[in-house]
Amino acid sequence: MIPDARMKATIKKVLQGFAVLVLVSIFLGLGFWQLSRANEMQNPKVVAVDRKVYSLAELTEPTGSVPVNSIGKMARTTGNFIANYKAPNQIDGDGVVADWEVVLLQNETDTAILVVRGLWKDRLQEPQIAMSNRVEVVGTLMPHQFDDRAANTPSQLSRLDSSILVSTTDLQLYDGFIMAKSEKVRTGAIERQRVLPPKLTSGVPGYYWQHISYVVVWWFMAGLVIWMPFYKRREDKL
């Protein structure tokens, strides 16, 4: 009977040890995976640009965020400029800091989207643009900004984010904005200096520390699994 009891105890210890190894391996593996994801965020890759021009409705809807696979694609939309704003301290694709001219374009429905037309200093160079003119805009679809660059006032945007305009209009606002590459009215194309869109990357900086926190959690779980058997033995001895 004693050898059988010893055998059972040995088998139990082996199984417990195996279970500990499996759990520790899983938790360590998850931690290393999250660490790899964090490194990707620190060293993002430039996203390949799709040169095809899509209608705005093909890329996104006014009721939600811009889909990840639509960011950076060329969008076309038509409507009227209904409001004009200054967006200070913006950074273009060359790293140049400047104030941008941003308009709210009402589409041919009850929706609207922000459009970066160009530099603020060039805003008065196009007398042919009026609120009543129908304009076709083609440009790069960008996600909304998270950080404020200036104070928010009725004529100035603290960041390029349609959510800060919700209380000023009854229109359904698209998330994100379009960086205009071209504009066309009935009399022809509008020539002006355009802003180079910021380089799009596969990483989202704000998520780096989120991944690091997951690394800490998974490795803490691994350490807890290793420590528990020793704690149990100590309790049994007491």
pLDDT in tens, 103-127: 999 998 899 999 999 999 988 776 5
Q: Does residue 205 carry a pLDDT above 60?
A: no
140 close to 93: Cβ distance less than 8 angstroms:
no
Instruction: Dig out the tokens for 39 from the structure.
Output: 């490194």
How far apart CA 152 and CA 128 sit, in angstroms, is: 29
Element (H, E) at 173: strand 172-185
- DSSP H stretches of helix in the chain: 2-42, 56-59, 208-237
**pLDDT above 90 coverage of the chain, percent:** 46
Residue 216 confidence (pLDDT): 86
Of residues 228 and 198, the one with the higher pLDDT is 198
pLDDT 10s digits, 86-104: 999 999 999 999 999 999 9
How far apart CA 113 and CA 127 sit, in angstroms, is: 22
State mean pLDDT over 69-75: 92
Instruction: Dig out the tokens for 99 from the structure.
Output: 């104030």
pLDDT band at 7 (very low <50, low <70, confident <90, very high): confident
pLDDT band at 207 (very low <50, low <70, confident <90, very high): low
Of the options 3.50.50.60, 2.30.30.90, 3.30.830.10, 2.40.50.140, the CATH number for the domain spanning 53-189: 2.40.50.140
Q: Buried b / exposed e across 97-120, counting CB within 10 Å, b at 16+?
A: eebbbbbbbbbeeebbbbbbbbbb
How far apart CA 113 and CA 221 sit, in angstroms, is: 46
Residue 10 confidence (pLDDT): 78
Domain boundaries, given as residue ranges, for the chain: 2-43+205-237, 53-189
Of residues 232 and 165, the one with the higher pLDDT is 165
State mean pLDDT over 220-229: 81
pLDDT band at 74 (very low <50, low <70, confident <90, very high): very high
State pTM to two decimals.
Answer: 0.66
How far apart CA 90 and CA 97 sit, in angstroms, is: 5
pLDDT band at 153 (very low <50, low <70, confident <90, very high): very high
pLDDT band at 40 (very low <50, low <70, confident <90, very high): low
Q: What contacts 120, CB < 8 A, 6 or more positions away? A: 86, 87, 98, 99, 100, 101
**pLDDT above 70 coverage of the chain, percent:** 81
Picking from 127-136, 143-152, 188-197, 202-211, which range would have the lowest pLDDT averaged per residue? 202-211
Picking from 4-8, 63-67, 91-95, which range would have the lowest pLDDT averaged per residue? 4-8
Residue 217 confidence (pLDDT): 87
Residue 21 confidence (pLDDT): 87
